[in-house]
Amino acid sequence: MPIYEYMCPGCQRRVTLYLQMHSASPPPCPQCGSNTLSRVFSTFSVHKTCKDAYDSILSDNQLTQGMMRNDPRALAEWNKRMSQGEPVAPEYEEMVERMDRGEMPPRQMAGADPPVEESSTE
């Protein structure tokens, strides 16, 4: 369904609505109930496919070489390109920021498998 944006003179808010089709009379404002919404010009978004993101990464020799060396900065760049600007969890964002500063994330992180202890056979 298309997304339409309106400005509400009643509550002075920009309202985004998912509608099957644009109609001559806009729906009431979901915030204040006003029936005087006016449609505003809005932009649209085009996302790259995963294939486009991978092609971009693989064509960047410096990035792929950095990833082969386990360079945290290259791993951070890879993560940024793959997320394509989508919102991420604060913990994920923090991890990428640390890698961007050159810090490798800890091997054992929340949700990761626990380390395997080697048994002595002496």
Domain extent listing, the chain: 3-39, 50-100
DSSP per-residue codes, 47-109: PPPHHHHHHHHHT-HHHHHHHHTT-HHHHHHHHHHHHTT----HHHHHHHHHHHTTPPPPSS-
Q: How far apart are CA 12 and CA 6, in angstroms?
A: 10
26-81: per-residue pLDDT in tens? 788 888 988 888 888 766 555 677 788 788 888 999 999 998 898 999 988 888 88
**115 band by pLDDT with thresholds 50, 70 and 90:** very low
Residue with tokens 């070489």: 65
| pLDDT the model gives residue 65 | 93
Biggest CA–CA distance in the chain, Å, is 84
| pLDDT the model gives residue 73 | 92
Give yes or no for residue 114 having a pLDDT over 60: no
Give yes or no for residue 122 having a pLDDT over 70: no
Which of 84, 85, 109 minimizes the C-alpha distance to 95?
109
71-97: per-residue pLDDT in tens? 999 988 888 888 777 777 777 888 888
5-23: per-residue pLDDT in tens? 888 998 998 888 776 665 6
Give the number of other CB atoms < 10 A from CB of residue 53.
16
Q: Is 6 helix (H, G, I), strand (E, B) or coil?
A: strand
| pLDDT the model gives residue 1 | 45
Residue partners of 58: CB distance under 8 A and separation at least 6:
64
